Amino acid sequence: MDKRQLKFNSKAIHGGQAPDKAYGAVMPPIYQTSTYAQTTPGGHMGYMYSRSANPTRTALEDSLASIENGTFGMAFGSGIAAIDAVMKLMNPGDEVIATSDIYGGSYRIFRKIYEKYGVVFHFVGMQDLEEIKAKVNSNTKLIWVETPTNPMMNIVDIKRVSQLAKKHHILFAVDNTFATPYLQLPLDLGADIVMHSATKYLGGHSDVVLGALVVKDKDLADQLYFIQNASGAICGPMDSFLVLRGIKTLHVRMQRHCENGRAVAQFLADHPKIDKVYWPGFPDHPNHEVAKEQMKDFGAMISFVPKGGDYQDAIKIVERLQLFTLAESLGGVESLAGHPASMSHSGIPKEEREKSGVVDAMIRLSVGIEDSDDLIADLRRAIEH
Ligand SMILES: *Cc1c(COP(=O)(O)O)cnc(C)c1O
């Protein structure tokens, strides 16, 4: 049976997986080893040293490639380490065009680390393709897209950006952390690289930090495998195992995340004390049509702004929440709330933040898979107090 032909739910469980060769273990063992016995120099069974490759990590990397409809998967110690590996493809003078309301840590590594090495970054609102076109020149080497964006929940049209990137021979990467391959498949839509913070939905249980890249092209994969081994930002076997375990329930979790996300978004939109709700599932969301086209559903990441609210009002609401945990991160089974201005996006200067709409009063929710009635009751109590 060709497992590449399986549908998504089956791939989440079986993609790239085979029972362990030694004893038939159905889950790949956690190969907690740094090195592997050789019978003669070079006489090994495919593994020599665990920075280069480890069987538990390989099982995860094959699963990642499978669920993203890619060919090659690479797992790293964190999402940022995966981004770092992509950035190491750049040379001084190369230019990168990135989504303006991007994950704070991505912005930080771009501006604070890679600018120092002569890489030039342009941050643009990517809902309008013209904004990207305006920054393209002969030095442009990479377009970096996040969609839905964080925390504005804007949607970037992956297919149209990929057409632009192909026309100008620019590498095109999509951070698929928020959507997951359950909702959208960037490689199918023309991206060259898919990146994940598997810390979020892929792991899904808030118990591991891990990053991933998936590509289709062999040459690109070879370059990235070289960087992965040469720079060494790999993840350990235990963490690989945890994410592999998480992926096996990704589709059922995502289905419930999306149901709960819809219920919570609707509750907030109907509430008289709420001014704005950002969620791509609303028909009046500016990019709703694109979201409908490229996503299977609309996810469970929601941002909202209380009416007439300021920095302190947002802080008070998040402090009053009892079922939503006030915490960084997202994508776990439990619901989390965050205050971008003081937490995830505090590293982005206020003017730059507000230019893309991230006001001081904004609250971001990662809606979990509890009962939505309980989540709504918690929000109602915190908002109405
Ligand atoms: C969390 C996150 C990252 C960074 O991943 P880590 O695993 O925390 O290093 C990158 N992009 C997005 C969209 C994220 O949410």
Alpha-carbon radius of gyration of the chain: 21
For the chain, give every domain's residue range. Answer: 3-247, 250-384
The domain 250-384 having CATH identifier 3.90.1150.10: the answer here is yes
> 3-class SS at 267?
helix
pLDDT at 4: 77
Of 157, 159, 150, the closest CA to residue 126 belongs to: 157
Query: Rounded distance, CA 33 to CA 49, Å?
Result: 9
pLDDT at 41: 94
Mode of pairing for the β-strands spanning 336-338 and 325-326: parallel
Burial class (CB in 10 A: 0-12, 13-18, 19+), 76: buried
CATH topology of domain 3-247: Aspartate Aminotransferase; domain 2 (3.40.640)
Residue nearest to atom 8 of ligand 1 (CA): 79
Give, in order, the Cα–Cα distances in Å from 61 to each of 70, 73, 95, 256, 298: 11, 4, 29, 26, 26
**Residue tagged active-site, from 57, 88, 200, 353:** 200
Give the number of other Cβ atoms within 10 Å of residue 103's Cβ. Answer: 22
**Pocket mutation for ligand 1, best pick of 156, 178, 199 (most atoms within 8 Å of C-beta):** 199
User: Which tokens hold the place of 254?
Assistant: 């995502």
**pLDDT tens for each residue of 75-116:** 999 999 999 999 999 999 999 999 988 888 999 999 999 999
**If you ran DSSP here, which 8-state letter would residue 110 be given?**
I
pLDDT at 95: 98
Give the number of other Cβ atoms within 10 Å of residue 311's Cβ. Answer: 14
Q: Where are the beta strands (DSSP E) in 178-265?
A: 193-197, 211-215
66 Cα–ligand 1 center, Å: 21
Q: Which residues line ligand 1 (CB under 6 A)?
A: 78-80, 103, 105-106, 146, 150, 175, 177-178, 197, 199-200, 209, 211
Stretches where the chain sits below pLDDT 50 are: none
Give catalytic status of residue 273 as yes or no. Answer: no
Contact 210, 78 (CB under 8 A): yes
Cα 254 versus chain centre, distance? 14
pLDDT at 2: 78
**pLDDT tens for each residue of 123-154:** 999 999 999 999 999 999 999 999 999 899 99
71 Cα–ligand 1 center, Å: 23
83 Cα–ligand 1 center, Å: 9
Query: Rounded distance, CA 29 to CA 210, Å?
Result: 18
**If you ran DSSP here, which 8-state letter would residue 234 be given?**
P
Query: Rounded distance, CA 300 to CA 279, Å?
Result: 8
Place of tokens 């990704």: 250
pLDDT at 87: 98
pLDDT at 150: 87
- What is the atom index within ligand 1 of the atom nearest the CA of 82? 9
Query: Rounded distance, CA 345 to CA 347, Å?
Result: 5
The backbone torsions φ and ψ at residue 264, rounded to the nearest 5 degrees and listed phi first, read -70, -40
pLDDT at 104: 86
The backbone torsions φ and ψ at residue 49, rounded to the nearest 5 degrees and listed phi first, read -155, 135
**Residue tagged active-site, from 94, 101, 103, 216:** 103
Q: What strand order describes the sheet that includes 301-306?
A: 274-278, 301-306, 363-366, 336-338, 325-326
327 Cα–ligand 1 center, Å: 14
Give catalytic status of residue 51 as yes or no. Answer: yes
Contact 365, 316 (CB under 8 A): no
**Residue tagged active-site, from 62, 175, 192, 239:** 175
How does DSSP assign 352-372, residue by residue? Answer: HHHHTT--TT-EEEE--SS-H
39 Cα–ligand 1 center, Å: 41
**Pocket mutation for ligand 1, best pick of 153, 200, 210, 234 (most atoms within 8 Å of C-beta):** 200
Mode of pairing for the β-strands spanning 171-175 and 301-306: unpaired
Contact 348, 297 (CB under 8 A): no
Of 86, 49, 76, the closest CA to residue 233 belongs to: 76
Query: Rounded distance, CA 175 to CA 193, Å?
Result: 9
Give catalytic status of residue 36 as yes or no. Answer: no
**Pocket mutation for ligand 1, best pick of 197, 235, 242 (most atoms within 8 Å of C-beta):** 197
Contact 208, 200 (CB under 8 A): no
